[in-house]
Chains A and B, each alone.
Chain A
Amino acid sequence: NAGVTQTPKFQVLKTGQSMTLQCAQDMNHEYMSWYRQDPGMGLRLIHYSVGAGITDQGEVPNGYNVSRSTTEDFPLRLLSAAPSQTSVYFCASSYSYDRGRNEQFFGPGTRLTVL
């Protein structure tokens, strides 16, 4: 199993450009999520999905869109990049969202810089 994969690993954008961060998992996990990590801030939830066709907003959703058309894929779209979106982005998945351990498995991250 590859686990959770993310592409690209690094990306530089200009203000106003759009792009999609890709995330895929091969563990048949029900729950997937996107976080951003900024210095001194920990990880903050952007969007999450509890299954194909179901998504919801997290703590910091503005400027980002998601969709989940398959169980495996959960892309994150930046509509019009801003310097404030410079961050490291992590995708994560877990078997389900039910109570119990259900730890989240993280991808390697995408380091995004917006100029």
Chain B
Amino acid sequence: AQKITQTQPGMFVQEKEAVTLDCTYDTSDPSYGLFWYKQPSSGEMIFLIYQGSYDQQNATEGRYSLNFQKARKSANLVISASQLGDSAMYFCAMREDSGYSTLTFGKGTMLLVSP
């Protein structure tokens, strides 16, 4: 079974609107971390936001917020006020804290922001 599932291969949003990118995960480890990375067309991987499994509040980093629903095992990324520069591939990843904390990535969602 996949550990990280991103069901939206592609998403379209208009500039200045908000968009939600979905991510569900599967783990039996009580301690884990969830990450979102952005990959623009230039290819680099850019860290956006982190949520720990024991964090009581949803994480926020500027225009990015993580809608963390632990019981549903979902960690959706919300981008408010989309900008043209937000057009990129977005990856959700999980790190299970037992063992050596390796990252498992989803297959990604391509976001296109139109003017």
User: When chains A and B are docked, how far (Å) is the Cα of A35 from the Cα of B31?
Assistant: 23
Contact A100 B33 (CB under 8 A): yes
- Taking the closest CB of chain A, its distance from the CB of B49, in whole angstroms, is 9
Answer whether A109 and B102 are a contact pair too, CB < 8 Å, given A42-B91, A100-B33, A101-B33. Answer: no
Whole-angstrom CA separation of A43 from B3 in the bound complex: 13
Residue pair B44, A109 in contact (C-beta under 8 Å)? yes
Query: Are A33 and B91 interface neighbours, CB within 8 A?
Result: no
CA distance A40 to B44 in the complex (A): 17
- The interface on chain A, measured as residues whose beta carbon lies within 8 A of the other chain's beta carbons, has a size of 29
Asked whether any CB of chain A lies closer than 8 Å to the CB of B103, the reply is yes
For the complex, what is the distance from the CA of A40 to the CA of B9, rounded to whole Å?
A: 9
**B50/A98 in contact, CB under 8 A:** no
CB distance from B22 to the nearest CB of A (A): 15
Q: Smallest Cβ distance from A102 to chain B, in angstroms?
A: 7
In-complex Cβ contact of A104 among B4, B44, B47, B100 (8 A)? B47
Tell me whether A106 and B44 are in contact (CB under 8 A).
yes
Q: Which residues of B contact A (CB under 8 A)?
A: 4, 31, 33, 35, 37, 43-45, 47, 50, 52, 91, 93, 95, 97, 100-108
Q: Mind listing 5 A-B residue pairs with CB under 8 Å?
A: A44-B105, A45-B103, A45-B104, A99-B97, A102-B95
Closest 8 CB pairs of A and B: A106-B45, A42-B105, A99-B97, A97-B101, A43-B105, A42-B107, A103-B47, A101-B50
